Amino acid sequence: MSAANIETVSTSADKAKLVAVALLVVASIAGFYGLSAKGVIVQWVVLLLGLAAAVVVFALSLPGRQLSAFGHDAWREVKKVVWPTRKESIQMTLYVFAFVVVMALFLWLTDKTLEWVFYDLILGWKK
């Protein structure tokens, strides 16, 4: 692998944003457990607000924008896929099932034939 394939966070602003995201997540979890005396609603509000703030800060960073662009590109590619019709899907499924049955019968016959050859003919161990 070449070093050109490795992407790193290069600007100090992006590094600071990622550190802020990590601190927001840790603070949200700590607030959730630390505010247990205040009630369940307060705990969940603090947790959800902290995580939402972490998501916003991450979305504003370069890695967040790259992740968003990747998601958009992936969705665009999924929309280009030509999906099989219901009839084609059923036909292919039936072909697979038929192949599995034929293969199971072949392997069972092979097993029984080898069992007969080794145990009955060669070793003479009749059942």
Give the separation between CA 77 and CA 88, rounded to whole angstroms: 22
- Residue 7 has a pLDDT of 59
- Position 6 confidence tier, pLDDT thresholds 50, 70, 90: low
How confident is the model at residue 124, as a pLDDT?
79
**How much is the pTM?**
0.58
Tokens linked to 34: 């630390």
Tokens of 92: 């292919």
Q: Share the mean pLDDT of the chain.
A: 91
43-93 pLDDT per residue, tens: 999 999 999 999 999 999 999 999 999 999 999 999 999 999 999 999 999
Q: Do 15 and 9 form a contact (C-beta atoms < 8 A)?
A: yes
